[in-house]
Amino acid sequence: MQKERQLGEYEKVMKEKEREEARRALAGLKNKKEDMLAYERELDRLIEGERIKKEQKQQQDWEKREKARVNLLYQVFEDRERKVKEHRGEREEDLRVREQDRAEVERRVAEYEQEQERRKRDEFERNRAEQQKILEEIALKEEKRRVILQELQREEQQQFASKNEYERKIEERKQQGREQFEEFKKTHRLF
């Protein structure tokens, strides 16, 4: 009777140890998942910060170009007005100067438009390269997350298999104990 009681106490102690090991394993997995989520949030924050900086720089560049264009037009018109005043006395000279001014304005505007077109193409290529870089970073982040998740799943499977193996061994030991106890009872005829 006392041996059965001791056997029952032994089983309770072993079950409590198993529960404690399972709790520790689950706490470890939870910490790994929280670390992974914190890493992903930080990476998302950094990527968003870079995108905002790029947009602000593009806006500043556009404002500078627009201001330069307006200043260029004012300069052309001021040059034209000065030339007209200098040659006001002679009508033919005035018409010639106007034609020259118009041609000069058209030439400068055409040059400016060509320059703007070139800059737009360059900016488009830079933006496309940046987008490609961001897409590659996102793909790398996804791959890392997939690898981490696979590792977590593998660890969970190993822990589950270890637990099952441990329970199987305990059950075998219990069975052996019962068989030995029965054998002991038969040989000593205590009961």
Distance CA 165, CA 158 (A): 10
Q: What is the pLDDT of residue 121?
A: 92
Q: How many degrees, rounded to 5, is the angle at CA 135 between CA 130 and CA 140?
A: 125
Q: For residues 177 and 7, is the Cβ–Cβ distance under 8 A?
A: yes
pLDDT at 11: 72
What pLDDT is recorded for position 31?
67
State which residues of the chain have pLDDT below 50. 191
The predicted structure's pLDDT at residue 117: 92
Q: What is the pLDDT of residues 125-143, one digit of tens each?
A: 998 988 999 889 888 888 9
| Number of C-beta neighbours around residue 51 at 10 A | 13
Q: Give pLDDT, residue 89.
A: 59
- Output the pLDDT for position 161: 87
CA distance 167 to 160: 11
At residue 71, the pLDDT reads: 84
What tokens were used for 55?
A: 């947009």
Place of tokens 């998942």: 33
